[in-house]
Structure 1
Amino acid sequence: MSYCLNPACHNPHNLDGIDTCRSCGKKLSPLRNRYQIIRPLGGGGFGRTFLAEDRDKLNELCVVKQLVPQLQGTNAQKKAHQLFQQEARRLQQLGEHPQIPTLFAYFEEDDYLYLVQQLVVGRTLREELDLQGAFSEQKIWEILTDILPILQFTHDRHVIHRDLKPDNIMRKGSDGRLVLIDFGVSKQFSESAIATSGTTIGSFGYASSEQMNEGAAYPASDLYSLGVTCFHLLTNNSPSHLWTEYGYSWVKQWQQHLNVQISPELTAILDKLLQKDIGLRYQSVEQVWQDLRALPVTVVLPTMQVPFNEFVANPNSQKRDKSIQRGGSTTIIPANKWQRRSLLIGGCAAVLVLGFVGYQRWQGQAPTFMGHGGEVNTIAITADGKSIVSGSDDKTVKVWDLNSRTLQHTLKGHQDWVYSVAISPDSQTIVSGSKDNTIRLWNLATGKQLHTLTGHSSYVNSVAISPDSTTIASGSYDKTVKVWHLKTRQVDTLQGHSREVLAVAISPNGKKVVSGSVDRTIKIWDLATLKVQHTLTGHTGDVNAIAISGNNQELASVSDDKTIKLWNLNTGREIRTLTGHMADINAIEFSPDNQHVVTGSDDRTVKIWDLSTGEDIYTFKGHLGAVFAVAYSPDGRTVVSASADKTIRTWQVPN
C-alpha cells in the first residue's frame, strides 16, 4: 500500500504501483525519492506521524513526522513551524543517545516540513498502565533509575524536555530500556535565559507551576514532571483530573491517593520531586542521585538499570568482606572493614561510603534482555562469549549480542514451546529441542535452519552436543535418550529410565552421556558402547538438570527436592549435598575453573556455590518469576539467567 501525504485527502490509501492518489490526484513518489510512507501512526496538534521505509537503507523502517498545523492564522502557523524546527534541532543536538530517538533527516518538500527519525518499537508507559494497571514500587524504582540518566544527558546539553509524561516514555521491546520521545516542546536553557519567561507549553497536570504560570523551564521542571509521572504510574490516578479539580494543591496531599503502602524511602524521593515550590524541589538530577545513593541498603533497588548488581553474600562464607546487603538479607562485617569505592552511576561521578555493611565492588550494570513473548526456558552462551541463545514458550529461539544487548536473530520453525538449546563448541551451530517432539539445527551466524531431527514420540526437554560437534544427545518425555550421529545419520535409542527424561549432558571428553529423570535417578552411559555404567540414586524429587565439570571428574545435579548433589563422574559415588534454595531447583552449570557452580530456582534466585566449602557464597535477586536456566560466560566473570518472567538477566560475578 502507498499512503497519500495530502492532509486534505479523504481516502489516502492507495495500491502499490500507482503514481498519483486516486482520491485527490497528488503525486505519490517517495519523499526525497527515498522515504516510502507505509501507514499513519497517529498525530495531533501540529504534526502527523507515519511509518515509512528508507530505500537508501535496504527498506529499514523509520518514522516520518509531517508538520500540519491544525490552528489557522499567521501566529499559530509560525509557532508550529518554530516548534517543529526546534524538535529537529534538539534531536540533532542530543546526538545518538541509545535512549533518545536519532534524527535522520529534516527537510521541506511540497510546502510541508518533514522530520525523519529512528523507529522505536515498544509500548509507551501509558499503554503499559492501561494494559497492566498500577505499577509496583519495584517498577517505579526502575523508572526512576532508567529515566534519570537520560535527563542528566539532556540537561548537560542545556535542553529541558518540558513534556515528560507516560505518553512520552517508551519501553523498547528489544531490551526493555526506556526511551524518551517527543522533544517538540523542549527548551534550550542558559544562564541568561533562565530568568526569562517564555511561552507556556506543557501538559496540564504534569507541568510544574513555574512552567505553566510563567513559561519558565529549568531542570527542576523536568524533575517535577518525573515525580508526577511516577505518581500516575503508581496510583493510576490521572494528574490532569487532579489538577483540574484542585490546581497544584493536590501535590501537598499526594499520599492520600495511594492505593498501596510504599516504602518511606520512595515516599521521601517522590515528596521532594512533587514540591510545588521550585526552591523546595530537587534542582538537578545529581541531587536525586545523591539521595538514591544514601538510601539504606535494606531498600530493594532494581537490578535492571540501577548500576549495582543485586547480590547477597552469605555472611558465613569466607568472601563476606566483599559483600553488600542488596535485598532482604544482611551481611555483617567488622567496623574496621569500612570501605570506599568510586562509582559511576547513571553517568554521574559519585562516591559511595558503606560503613556498617562493607562494600560491593563496582561491576557495571546488570542488563535485562526483553523480547520473548513467553517464559524463557533455556539459555546458552557461545564459546567465544559474544552471543547468548535463548528458547521460549513463544516457540522461538533468539540470538542476542551479549555486549551490546541487541537482538541479532529470531529463529522461527518450532511449532511449540522451545525447552532446550545447545551451541556447538565452534560457535557455528545451534541445537534446539521442543515440545513439538523435534530437534532443529540452525546456523548461528545467519539464523538459517539447517536440519530437523524427528524420532522422539513426545516432548524433547533437553539437548546436548558433543565437543567435536558430530553427536547430539536428547532427552524426552517419551522416557528415552537418543544419540544422533550427524555424519552417519545413525540414531541410537537408550532405554532404561522409567519416567520422563528431563536432562542430558555429554562429557567434555565426549566419552559419556548423562541423563536425569522424573524417576529420580541419574544414569551415566558409555557413549561408545551405549551401556549404563552407573545409576545414581539419592534425590527424592524429579532430577531437573545436570552438569559435568570441565575436567571430566565431577557431575552435579539439581532436583525438585531443593538440593544440589555432587557426584564422582567415574565412580558414581555421591560426594556432597548442598542446600540453601527455598524451592525446586531447575538449572545448574559449572564455572570455567570448576571451582563453583551456579544454580537457578523456583524461589526466583540465582546462587553461586563454592565447591570447596559447599557454601552458597552469592545470591542474585531480581527475577520476578522462577529461574529456569543459568549459564557462565567463558571467562567466568558473568552469569546469565532466564526466567518465567520472560526476561534474561546478566550478573557480574564478584571477584
Structure 2
Amino acid sequence: MAYCLNPDCQKPTSNPQGTKFCQNCGSKLLLSDRYRAIKLIGEGGFGRTFLAVDEYKPSKPRCVIKQFFYQGAGAEIAVELFEQEAVRLDDLGKHPQIPELFAHFEVDKRQYLVQEFIDGQNLAQALETEGAFSETQIRDLLNNLLPVLDFIHSHNIIHRDIKPENIIRRSPQGGSPPGGTKTDELVLVDFGAAKFVSAAAFPRTGTKIGTAEYSAPEQMMGRAEFGSDLYSLGVTCIHLLTQMHPFDLFSISEDAWVWRDYLHSPLQDRNLGKVLDKMLERATSRRYRSAQEILEELNPQPTAIKNWSNSIPLGNLYGNVNTPSPIPNQQLPIANSRSPITYIQSSTLVKNWRCDRTLIGHSNWVWSVAFSPDSKTLASGSRDKTIKLWDLQTGKQIRTLWGHSNWVWSVAFSPDGKTLVSGSGDKTLKVWQIPSGKIIRTLEGHSGPIYAIAFSPDGRTIASGSGDKTLKIWDCGSSEAIHTLTRHLFWVRCIAISPDGQTLASGGLDNNIHLWQINSGRWSRTFAGHSNWVRFIAFSPDGQFLASASYDKTIKVWDLYSGKEIYTLSEHTDLVGCVAISPDGQILASSSRDKTIKLWQLSTGREISNITERSDAVSYITFSPDGQTLAAANFDGTINIWRCD
C-alpha cells in the first residue's frame, strides 16, 4: 500500500503498491522521486510521521518521513523547530544511538524530514506492557544513554525533551547470543526541541520548550543548560521505576521528590538512589555538571590495581595462557610515582620546537594525521568527510581523496607506504592506493562509526575500533574480518598495535584499556585507573610500555609486563586527547583541549617543553618516522608541522 501525503486527501490509503499517483486526489505518491510512505505512525498539531521505504535503493530499506504543514498561531516558531531538528541531526552526523538524517527538503510548500527508521518500542510503551522497571534496568538505561548525552553535549547541543516517549529500545537483530541475552540498545529520538548553545548564549533567556513534567526548573524559565537534560533523564528514571506520573512524585508541601514512597519494594542499590537524587536536584549548583560525572559515580573505578595474579603477564602471553608466570615485583617501579623507568637509556633531549608551516585546506575539524614511512607525505582525515595528502617539503596538497559519506576519524599508512587505510562514521574502512588515491577495497562489518585503525608492522592485518563496542582484525589479503573482539562496555575510541605485531591494545568510553593477542583474538588483561574516557594510547618503540591519554585530564604510563601504572601526568588543565612517543623512545608528547602540546621525558615523566603558541585545541599529534617532525591536527581545520632545532 502507498499512503498519500496530501493532508487534504479523503482516502489516503486507497493506493495499491507501485501506484505513482493517488487514485483519490491525484497527488504524486513518491516523495522527491524516492521515498514512498506506506503507513501513518504518528500525528500531531504540527504535522504527521510516516513509515516509508526508500525506492531508490535496491533493498528498499525502511525509513521515516516527518511532514510539517502547521499553519496556525505560532507557525513561525513551529517552522523554526522543525528546521532545527534537521540542522541538529546534521550537526551530530552518524551515531549508532541517534537516528541518522537522510534528507530535508520542501515539496508543495510543505517541509519534510527523512531519517533512519528505528525498529522497536519506546520506553513509555515498554512501561505499559512490562510494568515498572527494575533497579538493574535503570542502571543499564543510565549506562546506555549517558554516553549519548555526553556526545550531544560535546557538540554544544541540549536535547531539551528527554522523556520515555523519546527513548526507543531498538529491537535486537539476530536474536540473543548463546548462553545470555542481548543488551538492549537505546536510541534517543526527536531533536525538534534541541538547541545549539555557546558560552555567550547561556545567560540569555530563550523559548520555553520541552515536556513540563520532565523539564528542569531553569528550562521552564527558558534557560536550559546541559544539566537540564540530566534532570529530565533523572525524572524519566523515577517514572519508570515507580510507574507513577512525575507530578505525583513531587511533593509541593515538602518541596521535594518523594519517589521512594511509590516504589513497589525498598530500593536495594543505595548508590543508584544517591545518583538519582543528585540528578533530580532543582538547584543547578547541586546537580551533576556532566553525563560523565554521573557515569563515574554510577560505576566507581578502583583507585589502584590491587591484584593482578589472575591476569596473564605479557611475558607469558604466547605460551600457556592458562598458567600465569610469576611477576618479578622487585624489578618494578612503584605505581603512581614519578620514579624513573631505569631500563630506558636517556640521552640529550631536543627541547626547542618551531612551527615550520601550517597546512590549510580542510573545511572542518581534522581528526587524525599519519606520516608515510619515508616521512615525506602526510595524510589527514577530517570532519569534512575527506582525506588529504600533503607534500611535507613544499606544504602543498598532493590530492584530496573522496569516498566516505561521513566524517573520517582515522587514517594510517601501510608499512610499505603503498596503501592508506581510513575509518569513518559511515561504518566502513577504505583502502586507498598511494599515490594515485584510488579506492582498492571497502571493508564492511562494523555497525557503528569506526574511530580508530592501525596496521600491523608486517602489513598483513588491519585492526579497527568502533562505536559498536567491538574491535575487528582484518586480513589484508582476503579483506575478511579474522576476529571480532568484544569486551568494551561502550565505544572503542582508540587502538594501537605493539611493535612486534603480537599485541593489540584498545581503550574507550568504559575508562579501561584492554590487551589482546592478535593471532588468536583472545583477551589477555585489562588496565584500570582512568576515571574518564581513554581517548588515545601509544606503545613505546621497544614494546615495554604503553602511554594513555584520557578525558580525566591525565596521561598514564603503564608497564606492559607487570600491568602496573608507572606514573601519572596531570599538568594539563583540560581533556587530554592524544599522546605520541618519539621513535627513539625518549619523548612523550601530549595534546589537550587546553590548547597546549606538552613534551615529556618518557623515562622520568619530567616536562621538557610546552608549546602554547596556538589559537585552537589540538585533536591529534604524531611523530614522523625519522623523529624530526611533529604534526598536530587542530579543531580549526588546520595542521601545524613542528620541527626540532
Q: Give me the TM-score of the superposition, normalised by structure 2.
A: 0.46
Higher normalized contact order (CA 8 Å, seq sep 6+, divided by chain length): 2
Q: Rg: which structure is higher?
A: 1
Q: Give me the TM-score of the superposition, normalised by structure 1.
A: 0.45
